[in-house]
């Protein structure tokens, strides 16, 4: 029995990169037979693909199960319905509401694996100029900042300078700031260093005995890590410390409290986000290949990388608001599949912004890449139209009454046609609109597809053992 797709269901259109059947010979057609995907090869992969789906689904039952992220959105929603404020989501919403009531600025500290998910949601679903909007326009949502992912002295100082010049009176909500640390392991060096800096700054600004020192610091971390111990040592209330499941790694943690708390502070509809993710999981587990974007994306990308020698995977986002989503996917793919001397290399570009440079390379450069266009079909805002003008030296009057989205659609169609003619494979991943529900679907789809692709490759998609090497070397160097 198939699932009826909601109006906001996302779709993966990959048919344009399949080798055309019965195409008359030409030089371009000959190229396509070498660089486009033979439909028969995709059909041959299907039994193995379905076997991998069964394997990934079965892994949810393992204890501890690395695949716990798969059912987490639905479990979180079910627990919230049963237990309300006492549930994990209830605690997230309560803490978010309290911080929003108490402060107008929230700084999130964490490594890329922890903060890129929240940053993707922030940039996709809030105004690009959110922090510059007046408070009444932001409707109580604080200004949002991300730090603690590097040891960049000047970048951190720039944020401290901003807080120092804009926050004068800690008794005014508009001039208070909070810090939320997102660190599953609790021992990541970069956010720990930043936290120590912000604690010193808070002591100077709020005062050593101020209650704000306790109220405006929060953490999302493991149950027994150093960060939780540190917060307890400082005397923070347990309501300010949220947990992350031990068996869900940072790259897959966007639907844990590490992603849900920032989303709630941003004023996003967290339940719609989780419903979107849960809907995608249901499609993954129940739908046939023809209606299953997870299986389609995993199969197409796997075959193009492994059998058609296209290891460079370009995510071409057709909205500036989705660039951070691309960064999030970059780290998800690289950390999950970059193992055993294998794995695709991710690259994010923004179209049409990057086309004058990247487009040249995609059109005429090495044949080592697959381009996935990520498209939001309809803008959220009212359409901006091209208007007639008295002076037509720019020759734009011919586009009178055209929407900017019409011009973007023509650009996308032109790019895809140009690539098709020279046998450069592309596919389109289409979101009906940018919303919490579609972002929930998209992020869950990309996580599931990455895990399935790992199983197709024979690579364990969970964990990041390689990153421990540089950390060990760093510790030894710092001891010297």
Distance CA 321, CA 205 (A): 34
Pairing mode of beta strands 369-376, 345-350: unpaired
> H-helix or E-strand containing 217?
strand 217-221
Burial class (CB in 10 A: 0-12, 13-18, 19+), 302: buried
Distance CA 365, CA 314 (A): 14
CB 128 within 8 A of CB 322: no
Average pLDDT over residues 328-353: 96
Name 387's Cβ contacts closer than 8 Å, sequence gap at least 6: 400
Question: Which overall architecture, per CATH, does domain 70-268 show?
Answer: 3-Layer(aba) Sandwich (3.40)
Model confidence at 473, in pLDDT bands (50, 70, 90)?
Answer: confident
pLDDT value at 275 more than 70: yes
What are the E-state strand segments in 118-189?
Answer: 143-147, 177-183
Q: Over the stretch 79-123, which tens digit does the pLDDT of each residue have?
A: 999 999 999 999 999 999 999 999 999 999 999 989 999 999 999
> Where along the chain do its domains lie?
11-61+273-457, 70-268
Model confidence at 478, in pLDDT bands (50, 70, 90)?
Answer: confident
Per mean pLDDT, which range of 64-78, 191-205, 269-283, 401-415 is the poorest?
64-78
Distance CA 50, CA 35 (A): 25
pLDDT of residue 470: 80
Distance CA 30, CA 299 (A): 23
Give me the residues paired with residue 221 across strands: 183, 243
pLDDT value at 400 more than 60: yes
What would you report as the CA-atom Rg of the chain, rounded to the nearest whole angstrom? 24
Residue 411, both tokens = 């650009």
% residues pLDDT > 90 (the chain)? 88
pLDDT value at 6 more than 70: no
Model confidence at 287, in pLDDT bands (50, 70, 90)?
Answer: very high
> H-helix or E-strand containing 12?
strand 11-13
Please check whether the two domains, 11-61+273-457 and 70-268, share a CATH topology.
yes
pLDDT of residue 247: 85
Report the chain's mean pLDDT, rounded to a whole number: 94
Model confidence at 7, in pLDDT bands (50, 70, 90)?
Answer: low
DSSP 3-state of 243: strand
pLDDT of residue 2: 40
Q: Over the stretch 118-177, which tens digit does the pLDDT of each residue have?
A: 999 999 999 999 999 999 999 999 999 999 999 999 999 999 999 999 999 999 999 999
C-alpha distance from residue 412 to each of 316, 396, 465, 473 (Å): 10, 19, 39, 46
pLDDT of residue 62: 74
C-alpha distance from residue 166 to each of 17, 100, 240 (Å): 52, 18, 25
Give me the residues paired with residue 395 across strands: none
Distance CA 446, CA 459 (A): 17
Place of tokens 């048919």: 15
C-alpha distance from residue 272 to each of 59, 276, 277, 313, 362 (Å): 26, 6, 9, 30, 37
Half-sphere exposure of 420 (CA within 13 A, CB side): 14
CB 57 within 8 A of CB 285: yes
Place of tokens 């597809």: 449
Indicate the DSSP class of residue 358. Answer: I
Pick the CATH number of 11-61+273-457 from 3.30.420.40, 3.40.50.10490, 3.40.640.10, 3.40.50.11030: 3.40.50.10490
Q: Over the stretch 403-443, which tens digit does the pLDDT of each residue have?
A: 999 999 999 999 999 999 999 999 999 999 999 999 999 99
CB 184 within 8 A of CB 114: yes
Q: Over the stretch 288-327, which tens digit does the pLDDT of each residue have?
A: 999 999 999 999 999 999 999 999 999 999 999 999 999 9
Burial class (CB in 10 A: 0-12, 13-18, 19+), 347: middle
């Amino acid at each position: 029995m198939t699932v009826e797709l909601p109006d906001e269901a996302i779709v993966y259109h990959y048919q344009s990169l399949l080798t055309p059947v019965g195409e008359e010979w030409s030089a371009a057609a000959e190229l396509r037979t070498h660089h486009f995907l033979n439909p028969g090869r995709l059909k041959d992969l299907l039994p193995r693909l379905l076997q991998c789906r069964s394997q990934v689904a079965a892994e949810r039952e393992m204890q501890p199960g690395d695949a716990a992220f798969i059912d987490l959105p639905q479990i979180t929603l079910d627990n919230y319905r049963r237990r309300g404020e006492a549930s994990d989501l209830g605690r997230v919403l309560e803490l978010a509401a309290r911080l929003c009531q108490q402060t107008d600025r929230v700084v999130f500290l964490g490594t890329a694996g922890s903060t890129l998910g929240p940053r993707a949601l922030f940039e996709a679903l809030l105004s690009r100029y959110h922090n510059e909007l007046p408070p009444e326009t932001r409707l109580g949502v604080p200004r949002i900042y991300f730090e603690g992912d590097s040891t960049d002295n000047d970048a951190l100082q720039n944020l401290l300078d901003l807080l120092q010049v804009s926050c004068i009176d800690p008794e005014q909500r508009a001039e208070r700031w909070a810090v939320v640390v997102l660190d599953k392991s609790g021992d990541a060096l970069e956010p720990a260093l930043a936290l120590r800096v912000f604690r010193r700054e808070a002591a100077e600004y709020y005062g050593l005995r101020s209650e704000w020192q306790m109220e405006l610091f929060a953490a999302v971390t493991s149950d027994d890590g150093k960060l939780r111990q540190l917060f307890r040592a400082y005397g923070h209330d347990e309501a300010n410390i949220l947990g992350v499941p031990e068996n869900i790694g940072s790259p897959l943690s966007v639907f844990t409290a590490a992603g849900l708390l920032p989303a709630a502070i941003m004023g996003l509809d967290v339940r719609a986000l989780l419903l979107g993710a849960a809907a995608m999981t249901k499609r993954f587990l129940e739908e046939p290949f023809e209606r299953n974007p997870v299986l389609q994306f995993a199969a197409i990308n796997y075959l193009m990388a492994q059998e058609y020698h296209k290891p460079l995977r370009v995510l071409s986002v057709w909205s500036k608001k989705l660039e951070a989503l691309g960064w999030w996917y970059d780290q998800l793919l690289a950390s999950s599949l970059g193992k055993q001397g294998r794995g695709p290399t991710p690259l994010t570009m923004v179209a049409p912004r990057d086309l004058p440079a990247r487009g040249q390379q995609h059109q005429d450069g090495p044949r080592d890449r697959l381009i996935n266009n990520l498209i939001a079909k309809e803008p959220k805002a009212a359409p901006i139209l091209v208007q007639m003008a008295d002076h037509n030296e720019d020759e734009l009057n011919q586009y009178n009454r055209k929407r900017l989205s019409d011009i973007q659609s023509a650009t996308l169609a032109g790019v895809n046609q140009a690539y098709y003619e020279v046998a450069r494979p592309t596919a389109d991943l289409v979101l009906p609109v940018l919303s919490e529900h579609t972002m929930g679907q998209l992020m869950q789809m990309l996580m599931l597809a990455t895990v399935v692709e790992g199983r197709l490759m024979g690579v364990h998609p969970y964990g990041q053992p390689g990153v421990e090497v540089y950390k060990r070397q760093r510790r030894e160097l710092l001891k010297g």
